[in-house]
Structure 1
Amino acid sequence: MKLSQQEVEYVADLARIQVSEGEKDQLSQHLSSILTYMEELNQVDTNGVSPMASVVSQANVLRDDEVRESLPQDKSVGNAPAAKDGLFQVPKIISDR
């Protein structure tokens, strides 16, 4: 499918880009070859092929959830720079205005 210069100008206007006369010729050739390839791809029979979100198969690599004993409070707060009443103590970040 061969694109005219007017069509290239229209696409450039939609994309909000400025193209010179030389670029219009080059874009016309590139876009025409892309559209020709798309026409070729449209001829491929895709019946029975499931749609894919990605061309690479993906699997859940996370481990299964298991109930385990948690870290005791005194040990979790033990390495904190500041603690008060068994809780992490952090500086106030909201002003009093």
Structure 2
Amino acid sequence: MSVTKKDVKYVADLAHLQLTEDESESLVHDMNQILDFMTTLEEVDTSDVEPLEHVIDLEYRLRDDKAEEPLPHEDALKNAPDADSDYFRVPRVIE
């Protein structure tokens, strides 16, 4: 299977993109290279490879999920640019 300019135009229309002629040509070339690479990957024998949830082992990187005491208000507000007693003060964004 190869990508044509018609395919690129179709996908660009779905994404509401306006492509120049040069961009369309470039995308045809790039997409065909991607498909060629995928064909190469299909030839790799993966019968002895176990499925993974993550590409790296995250088992030892996670901390225990345990309840702790909440941060005191004073410590939470210590680095706030502006605070009002127990609350963060932020600039108004809706008028």
Summarize deviations over 1:20-61 as a string: whole Å, max 9, x none: 111000000001100110111011111132221221111244
**Offset at 1:11?**
1.8
Q: Which has the higher contact order (CA 8 A, sep 6+)?
A: 1
**Offset at 1:63?**
4.7
1:26 & 1:38 partners in 2: Cα distance?
19
Q: Classify the secondary structure of the residue corresponding to 2:48.
A: coil
The match for 1:41 is 41
Q: Tell me which stretches of 4 or more aligned residues in structure 1 moved more than 6 Å.
A: none
1:20 & 1:64 partners in 2: Cα distance?
52
**What's the % identity of the aligned pairs?**
32
2:9 & 2:57 partners in 1: Cα distance?
40
Report the RMSD for the aligned CA atoms in angstroms: 3.1
The match for 2:91 is none
The match for 2:6 is 6
